[in-house]
Structures are given as structure tokens and as C-alpha cells.
Amino acid sequence: MAQTPSRTVLLVDDEIAVMDVLERYLRDDGFNVVCAADGPAALEMFARHSPDLVLLDINLPGLPGTEVLRRMRSERDVPIIMLTGRIEEIDRVVGLELGADDYVGKPFSPREVVARVRSVLRRSERSEAPASSSERRVGAITIDPVAHEVRVDGKPVTLTPTQFKILDVLSSHVNQTLTREQLLERVSADGDVFDRTLDRHIANLRARIEPNPASPRHIVTVFGVGYKMIDSA
């Protein structure tokens, strides 16, 4: 179902042909669209229009996309999907650390981008209506990063600090694959998680939150890459 016209997407890309195609597809799907072709213009349009979601290219004149993302995040917590032709690990890591909600690599299908926009907005809408402002919900799982509490189907679940850190990271990037390196970077601040032990921590976490740990439906393995948390709601 198409989104209501009140939803506004800020589209930032210096490739006019790409911007024109994406703008047309987004408008056809019921979105309002405002556009910017460089970093400074993106920040100006962001302040002027208060978009519900930002599609942001990494390579921009004026200011790089990562800096634009950083400044937008300092203003307010808006969903941001990054568009990139640069697939190097450092780009993905920097974007995730700054708070990008998703990535789309160029070249891409305009229909896929619209589907990603709808998906990220749905997740954002669900996260705006929890019982506690600090809670994050993924299907039947509720995570409260502030209280350090987890519930499955409303029932409290006890996790170790490492299991909680892994769940917190994965649930912050629902439906987005994180490489093993990205997970380790985020959960190993105290040096207590290593590549050889990550799989065991994941298995123990699944045993506590999955209906059937042998066939997980929430935390899935992306073979040869890493892990992904699925919102099956």
C-alpha cells in the first residue's frame, strides 16, 4: 500500500539522472519529495522541510555524505538510507556508526529503493509507539537499552552483558546484514569478544530469545558475511 502524501522524503544526490528517476518513483508511490544536489543544500532543505526520511548519497560536492549525516543526526533522529557506489568496508562502518538505517548500493532498482523507504519508515513508526520511550521492539522481542532489559512475548529474559550488547547492536539495524567485523567492533569494547567466540555468543543468545534455536527466525546467519536480525512482524 502506498504511503500517505504527508510523508516527505529528502532525496540528496549529485547525479541528476538518478535523482530524477528516484523522485518519479517516490512520487508515484505517494511520497512528497524534496531534492538537493550537494551537501550544503541538503542541510538547508533538511532544516526547511523536516523530512520524514532522507535518501543520502555518500559522494556529494560541498560536504561529504557522512558529514551531512552527522549534522542531520545532531539535529534530530530521522531515518536515513545511504546511497553509495563505494562498497568499501570503511564506508559501511562509518555510516553505521553515525546512525544510517540502511544502505543501497549503486546501481540499484528504483523499486527496491522505494521498498526500502517503506520498510524503514514502518520500522520507525513502530519504534515511535512503545510503552517506554527507551524501548525498541522487533517482533515479539522488546529491548530497553536504558533499563538493560529484554522481554520475549512480554516475559523477562535474562541475558549476559555480551549477549545483550549483541542483541542491542543487531536490533539497531533490523533487516540489515552486519559483517562479523562490524559486530565485533561494536561489542568488543572491553576485549571480551573475539572472532572465534562470536558464534558461541550468538548461539547462546538464540537459545534465550528464539522459539526454536535450531531454526532461528529472529537472528539469522548470512553465510560468508555475518548476521542479520529479522523483523517478521
At 66-118, the pLDDT tens digits run: 899 889 988 887 888 888 776 554 455 555 556 677 778 778 889 989 988 98
The pLDDT score that the predictor gives to residue 131 is 44
For the chain, how many residues are written?
Answer: 233
Spatial contact of 10 and 36, defined as CB atoms under 8 Å apart? yes
Nearest alpha-carbon partner for 4 in 29, 24, 23, 22: 29
The pLDDT score that the predictor gives to residue 191 is 45
Strands of the 8-12 sheet, one edge to the other: 32-36, 8-12, 53-57, 80-84, 102-105
- Expressed in angstroms, the distance from the first to the final Cα of the chain is 16
Q: Which residues in the chain come in under a pLDDT of 70?
A: 1-5, 86-99, 123-133, 188-196, 232-233
DSSP, residue by residue, 128-153? TS-SSTT-EEETTEEEETTTTEEEET
All domains in the chain, ordered by first residue: 8-127 (3.40.50.2300), 136-229 (1.10.10.10)
pTM of full prediction above 0.75: no
The pLDDT score that the predictor gives to residue 83 is 85
The pLDDT score that the predictor gives to residue 5 is 47
The pLDDT score that the predictor gives to residue 147 is 82
Residue 57 has φ and ψ, to the nearest 5°, of -75, 145
